[in-house]
A = this chain, B = another copy of it.
Amino acid sequence: MTEHVIGIDIGGTFTKYGIVDKSGHCLKESFTSTDKYNDFDVYLENLTTEIEETIRSFHSRIDIKAIGIGAPNGNYYKGTIENAPNLNWKGTIRFVEKLKQYYPDIPIVLTNDANAAALGEMIYGGAKNMKDFIVITLGTGLGSGIVVNGNIVYGHGGFAGELGHMNVKHRGRDCGCGKKGCLETYVSATGIKRTVFKLMAEKVVESEMRNINFEDLTSKMISEAAKKGDEIAIEAFEITGRILGVKLADAVACTSPEAIFLFGGLTNAGDLLLNPTKKNMEENLFPIYKGKVKLLMSQLNETNAAILGASALAWKELEM
Protein backbone atom coordinates (compact mmCIF):
# COMPACT_ATOMS: atom_id res chain seq x y z
CA MET A 1 0.00 0.00 0.00
CA THR A 2 1.74 3.15 -1.19
CA GLU A 3 1.05 6.63 0.09
CA HIS A 4 -0.73 9.08 -2.17
CA VAL A 5 -2.45 12.44 -2.07
CA ILE A 6 -5.30 13.84 -4.13
CA GLY A 7 -4.54 16.99 -6.11
CA ILE A 8 -7.53 19.02 -7.27
CA ASP A 9 -7.34 22.01 -9.60
CA ILE A 10 -10.49 24.07 -9.91
CA GLY A 11 -10.81 26.01 -13.14
CA GLY A 12 -13.71 28.05 -14.43
CA THR A 13 -14.78 25.32 -16.88
CA PHE A 14 -13.29 22.06 -15.57
CA THR A 15 -12.13 20.65 -12.27
CA LYS A 16 -9.12 18.36 -12.78
CA TYR A 17 -7.98 15.90 -10.17
CA GLY A 18 -5.36 13.24 -9.83
CA ILE A 19 -3.92 10.66 -7.44
CA VAL A 20 -0.26 11.54 -7.01
CA ASP A 21 2.63 9.89 -5.18
CA LYS A 22 5.48 11.73 -3.52
CA SER A 23 7.76 11.63 -6.54
CA GLY A 24 5.14 13.39 -8.65
CA HIS A 25 3.96 10.29 -10.44
CA CYS A 26 0.30 10.73 -11.27
CA LEU A 27 -1.38 7.31 -10.91
CA LYS A 28 -4.53 8.52 -12.52
CA GLU A 29 -5.98 11.83 -13.52
CA SER A 30 -9.40 12.86 -14.65
CA PHE A 31 -11.72 15.85 -14.77
CA THR A 32 -15.29 16.87 -14.21
CA SER A 33 -17.34 19.97 -14.99
CA THR A 34 -17.12 23.07 -12.83
CA ASP A 35 -19.47 25.46 -14.63
CA LYS A 36 -22.30 22.97 -15.06
CA TYR A 37 -23.08 23.31 -11.35
CA ASN A 38 -24.73 26.45 -10.05
CA ASP A 39 -25.14 24.83 -6.64
CA PHE A 40 -21.81 24.28 -4.92
CA ASP A 41 -23.08 21.42 -2.74
CA VAL A 42 -24.23 19.46 -5.80
CA TYR A 43 -20.87 20.11 -7.47
CA LEU A 44 -18.99 18.81 -4.44
CA GLU A 45 -21.20 15.72 -4.14
CA ASN A 46 -20.50 14.89 -7.77
CA LEU A 47 -16.76 15.61 -7.48
CA THR A 48 -16.27 13.40 -4.41
CA THR A 49 -18.33 10.61 -5.98
CA GLU A 50 -16.11 10.68 -9.05
CA ILE A 51 -12.94 10.71 -6.96
CA GLU A 52 -14.13 7.76 -4.91
CA GLU A 53 -14.94 5.82 -8.08
CA THR A 54 -11.46 6.59 -9.38
CA ILE A 55 -9.86 5.33 -6.16
CA ARG A 56 -11.99 2.17 -6.19
CA SER A 57 -10.96 1.49 -9.79
CA PHE A 58 -7.45 0.56 -8.68
CA HIS A 59 -6.67 -3.08 -8.01
CA SER A 60 -4.40 -2.35 -5.05
CA ARG A 61 -5.55 -0.32 -2.08
CA ILE A 62 -4.61 3.35 -2.21
CA ASP A 63 -3.78 5.11 1.01
CA ILE A 64 -4.80 8.77 0.67
CA LYS A 65 -2.83 10.89 3.16
CA ALA A 66 -4.07 14.39 2.30
CA ILE A 67 -5.89 16.52 -0.25
CA GLY A 68 -4.50 19.67 -1.86
CA ILE A 69 -6.64 22.09 -3.85
CA GLY A 70 -5.67 24.91 -6.17
CA ALA A 71 -8.48 27.37 -6.81
CA PRO A 72 -8.97 30.91 -8.09
CA ASN A 73 -9.04 33.34 -5.12
CA GLY A 74 -8.24 30.46 -2.80
CA ASN A 75 -7.45 31.47 0.77
CA TYR A 76 -4.92 29.18 2.43
CA TYR A 77 -5.65 30.36 5.97
CA LYS A 78 -9.42 30.02 5.79
CA GLY A 79 -9.75 27.20 3.26
CA THR A 80 -12.19 29.33 1.31
CA ILE A 81 -12.74 30.51 -2.24
CA GLU A 82 -13.68 34.18 -2.03
CA ASN A 83 -15.50 36.09 -4.77
CA ALA A 84 -13.86 34.26 -7.65
CA PRO A 85 -14.93 36.18 -10.77
CA ASN A 86 -14.89 33.17 -13.11
CA LEU A 87 -16.84 30.71 -10.91
CA ASN A 88 -20.62 30.38 -10.62
CA TRP A 89 -20.56 30.35 -6.81
CA LYS A 90 -20.51 33.89 -5.51
CA GLY A 91 -19.39 35.18 -2.14
CA THR A 92 -17.30 33.02 0.16
CA ILE A 93 -17.29 29.24 -0.43
CA ARG A 94 -16.06 27.30 2.61
CA PHE A 95 -14.51 24.64 0.42
CA VAL A 96 -12.22 22.90 2.93
CA GLU A 97 -14.88 22.81 5.65
CA LYS A 98 -17.41 21.24 3.26
CA LEU A 99 -14.93 18.74 1.83
CA LYS A 100 -14.04 17.73 5.41
CA GLN A 101 -17.53 16.25 5.66
CA TYR A 102 -16.44 13.69 3.07
CA TYR A 103 -12.85 13.25 4.33
CA PRO A 104 -12.90 14.01 8.04
CA ASP A 105 -9.65 12.23 8.92
CA ILE A 106 -7.02 13.66 6.60
CA PRO A 107 -5.52 17.13 6.15
CA ILE A 108 -7.19 19.20 3.43
CA VAL A 109 -5.47 22.37 2.24
CA LEU A 110 -6.37 24.93 -0.38
CA THR A 111 -4.54 27.82 -1.97
CA ASN A 112 -4.78 29.84 -5.12
CA ASP A 113 -3.77 28.23 -8.39
CA ALA A 114 -0.59 30.28 -8.83
CA ASN A 115 0.64 29.38 -5.34
CA ALA A 116 -0.06 25.75 -6.18
CA ALA A 117 1.98 26.17 -9.38
CA ALA A 118 4.87 27.57 -7.30
CA LEU A 119 4.74 24.62 -4.92
CA GLY A 120 4.64 22.27 -7.91
CA GLU A 121 7.75 23.97 -9.30
CA MET A 122 9.48 23.63 -5.90
CA ILE A 123 8.66 19.98 -5.33
CA TYR A 124 8.59 18.54 -8.85
CA GLY A 125 10.00 21.21 -11.20
CA GLY A 126 12.88 23.58 -11.76
CA ALA A 127 12.92 25.12 -8.27
CA LYS A 128 13.82 21.89 -6.44
CA ASN A 129 16.82 23.31 -4.61
CA MET A 130 15.63 26.89 -4.36
CA LYS A 131 14.35 28.70 -1.30
CA ASP A 132 13.53 32.08 -2.87
CA PHE A 133 11.76 32.24 -6.21
CA ILE A 134 8.64 33.50 -7.97
CA VAL A 135 6.35 31.70 -10.40
CA ILE A 136 4.38 33.83 -12.86
CA THR A 137 1.43 32.10 -14.56
CA LEU A 138 0.49 33.63 -17.88
CA GLY A 139 -2.94 32.49 -18.97
CA THR A 140 -6.14 34.48 -19.40
CA GLY A 141 -4.77 36.60 -16.56
CA LEU A 142 -1.44 36.86 -14.74
CA GLY A 143 -1.09 34.96 -11.49
CA SER A 144 1.91 34.65 -9.20
CA GLY A 145 3.22 32.56 -6.36
CA ILE A 146 6.06 33.97 -4.27
CA VAL A 147 8.34 31.70 -2.24
CA VAL A 148 10.49 33.20 0.51
CA ASN A 149 12.85 31.06 2.54
CA GLY A 150 11.18 27.86 1.32
CA ASN A 151 7.60 28.88 2.05
CA ILE A 152 4.79 30.40 0.02
CA VAL A 153 4.13 34.00 1.05
CA TYR A 154 0.47 34.09 2.10
CA GLY A 155 0.61 37.49 3.77
CA HIS A 156 -1.69 38.88 6.41
CA GLY A 157 -5.00 37.98 4.79
CA GLY A 158 -3.94 34.85 2.92
CA PHE A 159 -3.97 36.51 -0.51
CA ALA A 160 -0.38 37.64 -1.06
CA GLY A 161 1.20 37.37 -4.50
CA GLU A 162 -1.18 39.20 -6.82
CA LEU A 163 1.47 40.61 -9.12
CA GLY A 164 -1.08 40.64 -11.95
CA HIS A 165 -2.63 43.64 -10.22
CA MET A 166 0.50 45.74 -9.81
CA ASN A 167 -0.01 49.14 -11.39
CA VAL A 168 1.45 49.67 -14.83
CA LYS A 169 -0.33 52.77 -16.03
CA HIS A 170 -2.41 55.48 -14.38
CA ARG A 171 -5.87 55.38 -15.97
CA GLY A 172 -4.69 52.51 -18.17
CA ARG A 173 -6.66 49.55 -19.48
CA ASP A 174 -9.82 48.38 -17.71
CA CYS A 175 -9.13 45.35 -15.54
CA GLY A 176 -11.65 42.69 -14.53
CA CYS A 177 -10.82 43.55 -10.90
CA GLY A 178 -12.38 47.00 -11.24
CA LYS A 179 -9.09 48.91 -11.36
CA LYS A 180 -7.39 50.37 -14.40
CA GLY A 181 -3.91 49.72 -15.74
CA CYS A 182 -3.17 46.45 -13.92
CA LEU A 183 -0.22 44.38 -15.15
CA GLU A 184 -2.43 41.53 -16.37
CA THR A 185 -4.30 43.84 -18.74
CA TYR A 186 -1.00 44.13 -20.64
CA VAL A 187 0.79 40.88 -19.82
CA SER A 188 -1.35 37.75 -20.29
CA ALA A 189 -2.93 35.95 -23.22
CA THR A 190 -5.70 38.55 -23.15
CA GLY A 191 -3.28 41.43 -22.58
CA ILE A 192 -1.20 40.72 -25.66
CA LYS A 193 -4.40 40.49 -27.75
CA ARG A 194 -5.33 43.96 -26.53
CA THR A 195 -1.85 45.19 -27.44
CA VAL A 196 -2.20 43.72 -30.96
CA PHE A 197 -5.52 45.53 -31.40
CA LYS A 198 -4.02 48.78 -30.19
CA LEU A 199 -1.12 48.42 -32.63
CA MET A 200 -3.50 47.61 -35.51
CA ALA A 201 -5.35 50.83 -34.68
CA GLU A 202 -2.18 52.91 -34.58
CA LYS A 203 -0.27 51.51 -37.54
CA VAL A 204 -0.97 51.02 -41.21
CA VAL A 205 1.41 48.10 -41.69
CA GLU A 206 -0.22 44.94 -43.05
CA SER A 207 -0.88 42.01 -40.78
CA GLU A 208 -2.70 38.73 -41.23
CA MET A 209 -4.26 39.39 -37.84
CA ARG A 210 -6.34 42.18 -39.38
CA ASN A 211 -8.63 39.40 -40.69
CA ILE A 212 -9.27 37.92 -37.27
CA ASN A 213 -11.83 39.30 -34.83
CA PHE A 214 -11.03 39.96 -31.19
CA GLU A 215 -12.88 36.94 -29.83
CA ASP A 216 -11.17 34.55 -32.24
CA LEU A 217 -7.61 35.87 -31.86
CA THR A 218 -5.42 33.73 -29.58
CA SER A 219 -1.94 34.27 -28.18
CA LYS A 220 -0.89 31.21 -30.18
CA MET A 221 -1.91 32.96 -33.41
CA ILE A 222 0.07 36.02 -32.33
CA SER A 223 3.21 34.00 -31.69
CA GLU A 224 2.80 32.14 -35.00
CA ALA A 225 2.41 35.46 -36.81
CA ALA A 226 5.52 36.79 -35.05
CA LYS A 227 7.54 33.76 -36.11
CA LYS A 228 6.53 34.47 -39.72
CA GLY A 229 7.79 38.04 -39.39
CA ASP A 230 4.51 39.89 -38.75
CA GLU A 231 5.62 43.31 -37.53
CA ILE A 232 2.63 43.94 -35.30
CA ALA A 233 2.94 40.55 -33.63
CA ILE A 234 6.67 41.07 -33.07
CA GLU A 235 6.11 44.52 -31.58
CA ALA A 236 3.30 43.16 -29.39
CA PHE A 237 5.73 40.67 -27.85
CA GLU A 238 8.35 43.42 -27.43
CA ILE A 239 5.84 45.59 -25.57
CA THR A 240 4.59 42.68 -23.47
CA GLY A 241 8.14 41.72 -22.51
CA ARG A 242 9.09 45.30 -21.74
CA ILE A 243 6.19 45.81 -19.36
CA LEU A 244 6.69 42.41 -17.73
CA GLY A 245 10.45 42.98 -17.39
CA VAL A 246 10.03 46.30 -15.59
CA LYS A 247 7.47 44.90 -13.14
CA LEU A 248 9.54 41.79 -12.48
CA ALA A 249 12.42 44.13 -11.58
CA ASP A 250 10.06 45.77 -9.05
CA ALA A 251 9.10 42.36 -7.66
CA VAL A 252 12.82 41.50 -7.31
CA ALA A 253 13.27 44.70 -5.27
CA CYS A 254 10.71 43.26 -2.83
CA THR A 255 11.80 39.67 -2.26
CA SER A 256 15.12 39.23 -4.13
CA PRO A 257 14.45 35.78 -5.63
CA GLU A 258 17.06 33.44 -7.05
CA ALA A 259 14.87 32.80 -10.08
CA ILE A 260 11.58 33.75 -11.71
CA PHE A 261 9.74 30.99 -13.58
CA LEU A 262 7.26 31.73 -16.35
CA PHE A 263 4.43 29.25 -16.75
CA GLY A 264 1.30 28.91 -18.88
CA GLY A 265 -0.01 29.26 -22.42
CA LEU A 266 1.70 32.50 -23.36
CA THR A 267 5.14 31.02 -22.59
CA ASN A 268 4.81 28.75 -25.62
CA ALA A 269 6.01 31.80 -27.55
CA GLY A 270 9.46 31.01 -26.10
CA ASP A 271 12.20 33.53 -26.86
CA LEU A 272 9.71 35.94 -28.41
CA LEU A 273 8.56 36.62 -24.87
CA LEU A 274 11.63 35.60 -22.86
CA ASN A 275 14.19 37.80 -24.62
CA PRO A 276 12.51 41.21 -24.25
CA THR A 277 11.43 40.30 -20.71
CA LYS A 278 14.98 39.38 -19.70
CA LYS A 279 16.49 42.47 -21.35
CA ASN A 280 14.06 44.86 -19.70
CA MET A 281 14.21 43.17 -16.32
CA GLU A 282 18.02 43.42 -16.30
CA GLU A 283 17.98 47.07 -17.36
CA ASN A 284 15.59 47.97 -14.57
CA LEU A 285 17.15 45.97 -11.75
CA PHE A 286 18.81 47.71 -8.82
CA PRO A 287 22.56 47.13 -9.52
CA ILE A 288 23.00 44.81 -6.54
CA TYR A 289 20.66 42.29 -8.24
CA LYS A 290 21.92 42.66 -11.82
CA GLY A 291 22.98 39.41 -13.46
CA LYS A 292 21.88 37.43 -10.41
CA VAL A 293 18.22 36.64 -11.08
CA LYS A 294 17.52 33.73 -13.43
CA LEU A 295 14.50 34.09 -15.72
CA LEU A 296 13.43 30.55 -16.61
CA MET A 297 10.61 28.65 -18.21
CA SER A 298 8.65 26.39 -15.88
CA GLN A 299 9.83 22.80 -15.93
CA LEU A 300 6.39 21.44 -15.20
CA ASN A 301 4.45 19.75 -17.95
CA GLU A 302 1.49 22.00 -18.65
CA THR A 303 -1.04 19.19 -19.03
CA ASN A 304 -0.93 18.06 -15.42
CA ALA A 305 1.00 20.90 -13.76
CA ALA A 306 -2.08 22.17 -11.95
CA ILE A 307 -2.78 18.76 -10.42
CA LEU A 308 0.88 18.36 -9.48
CA GLY A 309 0.83 21.82 -7.90
CA ALA A 310 -2.24 20.99 -5.81
CA SER A 311 -0.68 17.68 -4.76
CA ALA A 312 2.57 19.48 -3.87
CA LEU A 313 0.52 21.63 -1.49
CA ALA A 314 -0.79 18.46 0.15
CA TRP A 315 2.69 16.91 0.50
CA LYS A 316 4.08 20.18 1.85
CA GLU A 317 1.32 20.20 4.48
CA LEU A 318 2.18 16.67 5.55
CA GLU A 319 5.81 17.74 6.11
CA MET A 320 4.78 20.50 8.49
28 A-B pairs whose Cβ atoms sit less than 8 Å apart in the complex: A73-B288, A83-B288, A130-B156, A146-B255, A148-B153, A148-B155, A153-B254, A153-B256, A156-B256, A156-B293, A157-B256, A157-B288, A159-B256, A160-B254, A160-B256, A161-B256, A162-B256, A162-B286, A162-B288, A163-B253, A165-B286, A166-B249, A166-B250, A167-B246, A167-B249, A167-B284, A178-B287, A254-B255
Assess the A155–B288 pair: CB atoms within 8 A: no
15 further interface pairs, Cβ-Cβ under 8 Å (given A167-B249, A179-B286): A83-B288, A149-B151, A149-B153, A149-B154, A154-B256, A155-B256, A156-B256, A159-B289, A160-B254, A162-B256, A162-B286, A167-B250, A182-B286, A247-B250, A254-B254
Instruction: Write the A281-294 contact mask toward B (1 if CB under 8 angstroms, else 0).
Output: 00010111100110
151-186 of chain A: CB within 8 A of chain B? 151, 153-163, 165-167, 170, 177-179, 182
Most buried by B among A179, A246, A257: A179
A255 B167 Cβ-Cβ under 8 A: no
Q: How far is the CA of A246 from the CA of B255 in the complex (A)?
A: 18
**Total A residues in contact with B, Cβ cutoff 8 Å:** 47
